[in-house]
Chain A
Amino acid sequence: MSSPREVTDATFESDVVGSDLPVLVDFWAPWCGPCRMVAPLVDELSDEYAGKVNFFKMNTDENPAVPSKFGIRSIPTLLIFKGGELQGSIVGFRPKSELKKRLEEALV
């Protein structure tokens, strides 16, 4: 079982922007109920897409800079990057089938 790694304001540039593979970042915070529902779905996706997409999670309480740079005003938010560019965003809890569809769309 692979699971998303932590990314911070300090490591975002190298881990996400500089990544060779597409990246999905799960923005969450400990107090956010829906985030706790999304987390296991993101875990499953990180398993299914191992080797194809890198998965990260960022705690928005501890890392204010990146969320504010991307105008995140609601969590959970999932952002998908390809070649360092933002390709898609998913705001709020969505079922896994929809997460998968949106991820596939962002990958093409």
Chain B
Amino acid sequence: MQDLDIAIVGAGGAGLTSAIYTGRARRRTAVFERLMTGGQIATTDIVENYPGFPQGVNGFDLAQLMLQQAEKFGAQVVYEGVESLERTSDDRFVIHTAVETYRARAVIVTAGADYAKLGVPGEAELVGRGVSYCGTCDGAFFQGQEVAVIGGGDSALDEGLFVTRFASKVHVIHRRDQLRASALLRDRAFANPRMDFTWNTVVERIDGSSQVERIQLRNTVTGEASSMAISGVFVFIGQVPNSHILKGLVELDGGGHALVDQGMRTAIPGLFVAGDVRTGAARQLVSACGDGATAAISAEHYLAERWPGGE
């Protein structure tokens, strides 16, 4: 069993920032990642609001720089998903991955969030065949075609605007009659001749034999059913926090986000939660990174207090 000072669960912006701090404090640090370094930001085309990059920065490139910085200070990224977490009577944590078991004195959970699915017939069957959760990844395959974007928040508009570079028409389908997105994105979207809006409407089914061909819609006010011929469906209806490993350990809010104090501490000493998986997160890269720094500093204080002599 490998012994660590600090185990970090998730190599997104929050986790990599924690690792920069704990690595730099010479704590033996491992960052566990089930999929891809960078988390959500790794598939983002241009991040325009991360300080220090006035021209914007590609999300994947930025994530790679964060990874380099964490590794430079000695943190190790372990490409294994964490399946469960327990606290032992000697104030340590046991971390189970599919491959191995690790032991750590403190744990920072920065597992972020995954996109929410529509949960309608046809969706799962047609993923990668017209159903997508990433406009910047898949938009280019819809050159000259009509697509739908489901949702009315920042991600929906941001990704929808990106897809207009390729698609002839982007139909934004939103269940309310106004957008949640920021004014800047709203203005850009309304001004774009390739963007079209369908209000008070939900998707009931996605049809297509081997590719998406049409979607079945319902108006939430009139109850009227309709259908739209399109070749792509981009879904941006929010997020589900990756908090299942915290269930039973710490208190979660109604949406499944972990409750923490201002220092990113949970009710369990030595267990910290930071970034999009915590309650009240601003869901921005810079705030996730800020959370990661706060959690790392709290963890450092905790270790120094609990094990003052080091052992």
Contacts and interface: CB of A to CB of B under 8 A. Distances in A.
Report the interface size class on chain B.
20 to 34
Given A73-B211, A73-B232, A95-B79, A36 B60 contact: yes
B130 interface: yes
11 contacts: A29-B140, A31-B140, A34-B42, A37-B42, A71-B210, A73-B129, A73-B130, A73-B132, A91-B127, A95-B34, A95-B79
Contacts of A18: none
Given A73-B232, A93-B35, A33 B42 contact: yes
A31 B35 CA distance: 19
B211 A71 contact: yes
Contacts of A60: 140-141
Interface string A27-54: 0010111101100000000000000000
B43 interface: yes
Residue picked from B34, B35, B128, most chain A C-beta under 10 Å: B128
Nearest to A64: B143
B60 A92 contact: no
A32 B128 contact: no
Contacts of B210: 71
A61 interface: yes
Given A73-B211, A77-B128, A34 B36 contact: yes
Contacts of A77: 128
